[in-house]
């Protein structure tokens, strides 16, 4: 039987979650080690303990970067991991660790998108999705030339703040859905009519910030695998 080592060398990225991408990688490595084991060893409990301890040591300001969806996935993953270890359920523990890894990668994406800075969020969107600027412009209701100006080297000013809420919601959606679809597919998601939006496509709600709570619920349902 292969056991999971839980020393600092194995879980070095889990002292806290200040670097969520490093923490995600550490959890992924632990999950791979578990995959090579036939059952849950006593040391697997140490993996879950290290994750819990890292979360406790994490500054609350970082956790504020969690979207409601990622927050729920992180909490569910931790609860499932704890239960799986207690019940020696290897398959469930692997699923739980995968949830935790994906949630932390989502946090890393949101940090990269720099909520509150629409110019940085737009740059992150274009870099991560590689979709044409015209496609982003169409979604947020802006002129393509305006998007080109906003992303030019050294660009400042302009009317980007008028479209800031739409840009940041779009970046949030991509950060949540890019691991379920491709990054470009996460953008395309806005074009798909949904039952829970009265057969409207998400893009129809994007121009109206008052509709953002409805959009976020649709994103959460998509991320959780509920039917559209």
For the stretch 49-67, pLDDT in tens is 888 888 888 776 666 656 6
Average pLDDT on 18-42 reads 81
Please give the pLDDT value at position 8. Answer: 37
Q: How confident is the model at residue 2 (pLDDT cuts 50, 70, 90)?
A: very low
Please give the pLDDT value at position 91. Answer: 92
Please give the pLDDT value at position 110. Answer: 61
Candidate from 15-19, 173-177, 182-186 with smallest mean pLDDT: 15-19
Please give the pLDDT value at position 158. Answer: 67
Decide if pLDDT at 208 tops 90: yes
Average pLDDT on 107-125 reads 73
pLDDT digits (tens, 9 = 90+) for 141-157: 999 999 999 988 666 65
Average pLDDT on 208-224 reads 89
**For the chain, what is the HEC assignment?**
CCCCCCCCCCCHHHCCCCCHHHHHHHHHHHHHHHHCCCCCCCCHHHHHHHHHHHHHCCCHHHHCCCCHHHHHHHHHHHHHHHHHHHCCCHHHHHHHHHHHHHHHHHHHHHHHHCCCCHHHHHHHHHHHHCCCHHHHHHHHCCCHHHHHHHCCCCCCCCCHHHHHHHHHHHHHHHHHHCCCCCHHHHHHHHHCCEHHHCCECHHHCCCCHHHHHHHHHHHHHHHHCCCC
């Amino acid at each position: 039987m292969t056991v999971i080592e839980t020393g600092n060398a194995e879980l070095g990225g889990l002292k806290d979650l200040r670097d969520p991408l490093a923490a995600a990688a550490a959890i992924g490595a632990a999950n791979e080690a578990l995959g090579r084991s036939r059952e849950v060893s006593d040391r697997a409990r140490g993996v879950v303990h290290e994750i819990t301890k890292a979360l406790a040591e994490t500054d609350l300001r970082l956790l504020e970067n969690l979207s409601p969806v990622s927050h729920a996935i992180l909490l569910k993953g931790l609860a499932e991991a704890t239960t799986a270890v207690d019940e020696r359920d290897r398959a469930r523990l692997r699923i739980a660790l995968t949830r935790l890894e994906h949630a932390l990668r989502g946090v890393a994406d949101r940090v990269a998108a720099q909520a509150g800075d629409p110019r940085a969020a737009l740059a992150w969107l274009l870099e991560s999705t590689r979709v044409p600027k015209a496609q982003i412009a169409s979604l947020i209701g802006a002129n393509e030339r305006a998007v080109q100006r906003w992303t030019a080297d050294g660009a400042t000013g302009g009317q980007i703040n008028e479209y800031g809420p739409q840009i940041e919601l779009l970046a949030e959606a991509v950060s949540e859905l890019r691991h379920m679809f491709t990054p470009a597919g996460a953008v395309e998601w806005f074009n798909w009519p949904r039952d829970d939006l009265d057969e409207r496509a998400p893009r129809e709600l994007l121009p109206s910030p008052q509709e953002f709570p409805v959009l976020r619920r649709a994103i959460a349902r998509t991320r959780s695998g509920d039917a559209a």
